[in-house]
């Protein structure tokens, strides 16, 4: 039963790695786009936030499942 | 101070889950009235109607407070609009203009003006719920999965309604699947598109719920470290980190209201104009 805590903790960490990589790559690409085309900053920012929100949603789903593992253990 | 209201139970463990769940009482330990047990103000309970328990809970109360405050401030600020707004009206007008000029009009075009009142209502309701939840002893209504699912269902209904109103029922259903596909591919594509249709409001609900819950758990855990480690020396670090997280939570309250509005506008726009 103690392994449930271990699993939840590792799962939470893995979820954060995925979200961090995703949002990091996204932000890097957006920064590059803005530096190449500074006049498109508004469009790029809006689309970046939409994509970041979608990535974040998936990561939060993973974190919720980790919390559920601990709570319903 | 190891009573229920200090956030810890008798063995010095912090009960995180109790703080984020819904309860049938309000936490008012500061009132210190003799008839309140453990500083709990019990809310009136109703008989189940058709098997559904519609009793008051603390999330319901704080949601009503948010709605009441929203209506009051909006009427006070814009009931008799001045040419040059002052004070709170100025701040609210800046937010309304931001939503109109940076979110709705770029995403939806001129047709977005029809949906502007709905989107602004969603934005301000979520914002008020998020910010009211940051007051100590209050509860975050948007940190309840039922509230966020209801908001996402409203968003879903408006999305489908916009699609049907603009393209007709048949046109709307046809636009769900990309045109010009060979027939065998439709067997795979139709289930995928139906899953995508359900995943959008599901993600909306989970995102808002999880963001609100996560911030509150993090603040509670930092403060709970003082109780769990049973030493005063962690208190300065805990309080500084909790204060920093609290400021981050104010920011997240705005960001989540903004993202919910932005994604709803995007989904409505995609359903209403499926070609682009």
On the question of pLDDT at A9 being above 60, the answer is yes
Lookup: tokens for A45: 């920012």
Q: Is the pLDDT of residue A69 over 90?
A: no
Domain boundaries, chain A: 8-65
Interchain proximity B206–A61, CB inside 8 Å? yes
> Would the CB atoms of A64 and B210 count as touching at under 8 Å?
yes
Distance from CA of A57 to the nearest CA of B (A): 5
Q: Which of residues B128 and A67 earns the better pLDDT score?
A: B128
Q: Which residue has the higher pLDDT, B175 or B37?
A: B175
Q: How far is CA A37 from CA A26, A40, A41, A51, in A?
A: 16, 6, 7, 19
Kindly determine whether residue A63 and residue B214, on different chains, have CB atoms separated by under 8 Å: yes
Is B117 or B83 the better-scoring residue by pLDDT? Answer: B117
Tell me if chain B has a CB within 8 Å of the CB of A32: no
Average pLDDT over residues A13-19: 92
Q: What is the pLDDT of residue B4?
A: 43
Q: Which of B28, B22, B24, B33 is nearest to B4 (CA)?
A: B28
Nearest CA in chain B to A65: B210
Q: Which pLDDT tens digit goes with each residue over A39-58?
A: 888 888 888 887 888 888 78
Q: Does the beta carbon of B105 lie under 8 angstroms from any beta carbon of chain A? A: no
Per-residue pLDDT at A36 = 93
pLDDT at A41: 87
* Whether the predicted pLDDT of B2 surpasses 80: no
- Phi then psi for residue B26, to 5 deg, are -100, 145
pLDDT grade for B71, boundaries at 50, 70 and 90: very high
Q: Is A46 on the interface with B (CB under 8 A)?
A: yes
Supply the pLDDT for residue B5. 45
Q: What is the per-residue pLDDT for B67? A: 94
The interface predicted TM-score of the complex, written ipTM, equals 0.72
Q: CB distance B210–A61 less than 8 Å?
A: yes
pLDDT for the residue numbered B174 = 78
Min Cα–Cα distance to chain A from B255, Å: 10
Q: CA-nearest residue of chain B to A45?
A: B102
Where does A8-65 sit in CATH, by number? 1.20.20.10
| Contact assignment for A53 to B207 by CB distance below 8 Å | yes
Asked if pLDDT for residue B46 goes beyond 90, the answer is: no
B-chain residue closest to A56, CA distance: B207
CB of A42 less than 8 A from some CB of B: yes
What pLDDT is recorded for position B28?
A: 73
Cα separation values, B265 from A65, B103, B109, B132, Å: 28, 8, 10, 25
User: In chain B, what residues touch A43 (CB-CB under 8 Å)?
Assistant: 106
More confident: A59 or A71: A59
- Name the closest residue on chain A to residue B15, using Cα atoms: A71
The average confidence (pLDDT) of chain B is 83
Nearest chain A residue (CA) to B101 = A42
């Amino acid at each position: 039963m103690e392994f449930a805590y271990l699993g939840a903790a590792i799962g939470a960490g893995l979820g954060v790695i995925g979200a961090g990589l995703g949002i990091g790559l996204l932000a890097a690409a957006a920064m590059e786009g803005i530096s190449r085309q500074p006049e498109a900053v508004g469009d790029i920012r809006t689309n970046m936030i939409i994509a970041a929100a979608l990535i974040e949603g998936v990561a939060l789903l993973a974190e919720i499942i980790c919390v559920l593992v601990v709570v319903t253990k | 101070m190891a009573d229920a209201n200090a956030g810890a139970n008798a063995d010095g463990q912090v009960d995180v889950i109790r703080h984020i769940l819904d309860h049938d009482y309000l936490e008012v330990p500061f009132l210190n009235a003799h008839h309140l047990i453990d500083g709990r103000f019990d809310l009136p309970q109703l008989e189940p109607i058709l098997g559904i328990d519609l009793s008051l809970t603390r999330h319901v109360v704080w949601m009503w407070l948010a709605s009441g405050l929203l209506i009051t401030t909006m009427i006070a600020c814009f009931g008799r609009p001045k040419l040059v707004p002052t004070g709170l009206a100025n701040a609210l007008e800046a937010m309304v203009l931001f939503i109109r000029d940076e979110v709705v009009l770029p995403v939806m075009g001129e047709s977005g003006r029809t949906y502007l009142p709905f989107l602004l209502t969603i934005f301000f309701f979520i914002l008020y719920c998020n910010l009211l939840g940051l007051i100590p002893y209050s509860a975050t209504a948007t940190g309840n999965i039922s509230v966020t699912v209801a908001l996402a269902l409203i968003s879903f209904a408006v999305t489908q309604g916009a699609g049907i109103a603009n393209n007709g029922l048949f046109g709307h259903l046809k636009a769900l699947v990309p045109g010009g596909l060979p027939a065998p591919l439709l067997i795979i594509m139709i289930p995928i598109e139906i899953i995508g249709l359900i995943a959008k409001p599901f993600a909306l609900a989970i995102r808002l719920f999880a963001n609100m819950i996560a911030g509150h758990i993090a603040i509670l855990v930092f403060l709970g470290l003082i109780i769990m480690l049973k030493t005063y020396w962690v208190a300065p670090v805990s309080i500084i980190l909790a204060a920093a997280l609290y400021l981050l939570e104010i920011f997240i309250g705005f960001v989540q209201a903004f993202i919910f509005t932005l994604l709803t506008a995007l989904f409505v726009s995609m359903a209403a104009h499926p070609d682009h």
